[in-house]
Structure 1
């Protein structure tokens, strides 16, 4: 019979943990937007205003804040799905990917967004997770994960490409740097091919 999972987690354990984490994450985004609305949009200033040194501290909170429930809704499904798929490879690995995307994607926004704008939202993380899920199977040489990446590209690839094209009214800078950081994270956090299961 096959042995236990190498890291002590079965596939069902990973799936349950991934589902709980991402459901809680998306719920938090909705709760924050509800709090923002209830306080007269008191959280909106915690978005990133470019090239002001004091705004660097807003890079992290800006990834959890939105400008209206429509904005949250647009990010919720892709964040839930892509985060779940990424988390199947390990919760700590997912958190490392998100940390890289938030920091470096946020720096891209801070450096290159137009003056006088304020940027917030989880779409940079969504684009980062898309890039990570797309690339990791090929980088790690894991066929199943590569197939999952191709399926994700088939579903969201068109909208992701559109999202990194310079367009007024959206933070294409956050999308672009999020995507590039997600792909880079697949290389930084690369693993070897999955070892073959042994039977006795």
Structure 2
């Protein structure tokens, strides 16, 4: 596969990733309007309540729900940035990573959060994507992704404060989502054939030598 063809594939995937995140943000904002109109009844009824078996489906619905306009506004920017960076290498892989993060964040919160509280919000996904972007480059051995992970880690270092216990904040969803993102980086890493790197240098060397000899012959040397 040529570098040009690889670049075309990456651009196509990045374009799909952009529209996937635009669509996802559009969905949670539509849900927010309905939720706000109903005095946030959706968050109360479909959020996560720890150790309540009937509320286990909240693992799926809670990331779409928020408690206020400030809540959804605070999540939207990081969700789009980290979500796009998590998705631009492939939307199909991104969907698998998203499912793993939602499961880890939701179950972690369900097992460890205060049973008197109801958890809702996309911040578990935000921290999950953050963790995934940080480690993906190391697992995939892609230099550009390593650089992106380092830059994001430095620019958003303050996000790590959300992993610490704090009153009134669902830090459990943050922490378990972050762990889920790191695990996702390993489970969904690129798996290249072990023999491929060994064959490529020989072929490249042979082609280069043949091309050089032909140029010398053409020059009459």
Asked if TM exceeds 0.5, the reply is yes
Residues 69-114 of structure 1: per-residue CA shift (max 9 Å, x gap) = 1100001011101111111110011111110010111000000001
Residues 126-166 of structure 1: per-residue CA shift (max 9 Å, x gap) = 00000000001011111110000001101112x22100110
Q: Which residue of 2 aligns with 1:10?
A: 9
Q: Which residue of 2 aligns with 1:105?
A: 105
1:90 aligns with 2:90: yes
Contact 1:30–1:69 (8 Å) recurs in 2: no
Residues 105 and 88 of structure 1: CA distance in aligned 2, closer, same or farther (over 3 Å): same
Displacement of 1:10 in angstroms is: 2.1
Q: Which residue of 2 aligns with 1:162?
A: 161
Q: Which has the higher helix share?
A: 2
Residues 175 and 2 of structure 1: CA distance in aligned 2, closer, same or farther (over 3 Å): closer
1:1-200 matched pairs, under 5 angstroms: 2=3, 4-5=5-6, 10-44=9-43, 45-157=45-157, 159-192=158-191
Cα distance in 2 between the residues matched to 1:27 and 1:164:
27
Displacement of 1:2 in angstroms is: 4.4
- Taking only aligned residues, the RMSD between alpha carbons, in angstroms, comes to 2.2
Displacement of 1:3 in angstroms is: 5.5
TM-score when scaled to structure 1? 0.91
Residues 86 and 34 of structure 1: CA distance in aligned 2, closer, same or farther (over 3 Å): same
TM-score when scaled to structure 2? 0.83
Question: What is the DSSP-based 3-state SS (H/G/I as helix, E as strand, rest coil) of the residue aligned with 2:119?
Answer: coil
Question: What is the DSSP-based 3-state SS (H/G/I as helix, E as strand, rest coil) of the residue aligned with 2:144?
Answer: helix
Cα distance in 1 between the residues matched to 2:107 and 2:92:
23
Contact 1:66–1:121 (8 Å) recurs in 2: yes
Displacement of 1:29 in angstroms is: 1.1
